[in-house]
Amino acid sequence: MAGFNLKGRSDKTVENYYNAFKRWEAFAKQGNVCHLPAQPVQVALYLTHILDTGGSGSIVTAAVYGIKWAHSINGFEDPTVNSFVKNLMEAAKRQVRVPRRKKDCVSANMLICLCDIHKDSRDISVVRDLAMIVLCFAGFLRYNELSELRCEDVAFHESCLKLNIRKSKTDQYRLGNEVVIAKGKTVACPYLMLKRFMGLFGATVSSKDYLFKPLFRSKAECNQIYKQKPLSYTRARECVVKRLNEVSKGLDLGLHSLRAGGATEAANGNVNERCWRRHGRWRSDMSKDGYVVDSLQNRLEVTKQLGL
């Protein structure tokens, strides 16, 4: 029962809650107070300590949810519903902090230029990077969705490519999701690029291997490792950003620049809003709007309609 109780949240969420609770436990032991069950006033003092030592609102929020989770799975009364704790959470959100700076978006023209530079390359490391880039851009993929792809999750049809998304941030119950990507007409076509990449290392759509894995080099040979291990976020980001910098000097880019870039191109191209929201697997309009950088032309339409 205890094991199933822990499965009530995703593994990453449980890990974050557990770490936040252990920090509270260490603080409570220093003051010789009971950490489980905790008293509301003691939790409030702990949050005050976090704010006094320069902790951000996100750290306070993590502490509250970690303590709430630990009390919930142990069947104890929740000390975080107390008004002191709630007011301190609100105070933490209002603290002055460094403005959040989002990464710059990637455009379709940039990807076409990049793929044109390497259109004749047979280096698997180059083609792998290009395949990851165009798939993330065209499929609005988060990196965890891309890294979990296996060869059997890919289906090539006459006019499109279908990807089976096994695990997604917005698919907590792992019901699965399908992303369809149309066959393009340029050198940056995701359909042709993925076929080209899979052909280089002899992958088949019936294989259970991860689609994107680390590489090894032996003399003149370069290939993916044989071990079943997906490419890490750090290494993927390093490869993708290095590749994008060939055509985007001066931009602040990351892996999310591809998802945001694809969403921006679709929104500014007047694609049906319901369709591109579904394509990006967003739960709400507020979530998807945070990814879009509206073009100047679309922004000027607001005041043009005022008739002044």
Say if CB 67 and CB 20 are below 8 A apart. yes
Q: What is the pTM of this model?
A: 0.75
CA distance linking residue 180 with residue 288, whole number of Å:
18
Query: How far apart are alpha carbons 11 and 56 in whole angstroms?
Result: 24
* pLDDT tens digits for range 20-72: 999 999 999 998 989 999 999 999 999 999 988 888 888 999 999 999 999 99
Min mean pLDDT across 5-9, 29-33, 155-159 is at: 5-9
Per-residue pLDDT averaged across 115-140, rounded? 92
Is residue 91 within a helix (H) or strand (E), and if so which, with residue range?
helix 83-93
List pLDDT tens digits, range 56-114: 888 999 999 999 999 999 889 999 999 999 999 998 888 766 667 788 889 999 999 99
Q: Tell me, what's the pLDDT at 116?
A: 94
Per DSSP, helices labelled H in the chain are: 2-6, 11-30, 40-52, 57-73, 83-93, 108-117, 124-139, 143-147, 190-200, 233-244, 256-268, 273-280, 285-289, 296-304
Q: For the residues 163-180, what does the mean pLDDT come to? A: 73
Q: Which helix (H) or strand (E) holds 219?
A: none
CATH (one of 3.30.1330.90, 3.20.20.70, 1.10.1060.10, 1.10.443.10) for 108-294:
1.10.443.10
132 CB-near residues (< 8 Å, 6+ apart) = 146, 212, 236, 239, 240
pLDDT, average across residues 195-219: 86
Share of the chain above pLDDT 70, in %: 94
Tell me, what's the pLDDT at 1? 79
Task: Please state the domain extents for the chain.
Answer: 2-93, 108-294
Highest mean pLDDT among 39-43, 163-167, 292-296: 39-43
The pLDDT of residue 298 is above 90? no
Mean pLDDT of the chain: 86
Quote the tokens at residue 136. Answer: 């993330």
Which CATH number describes the domain made up of 2-93?
Answer: 1.10.150.130
Whose CA is closest to 55, among 22, 107, 82, 93? 93
Q: Note the pLDDT of residue 300.
A: 74
> What average pLDDT does range 261-283 have in this prediction?
83
Does position 174 have pLDDT exceeding 60, yes or no? Answer: no
Average pLDDT on 271-300 reads: 76
- Percent of the chain at pLDDT exceeding 90: 43
Q: Is the pLDDT of residue 168 over 80?
A: no
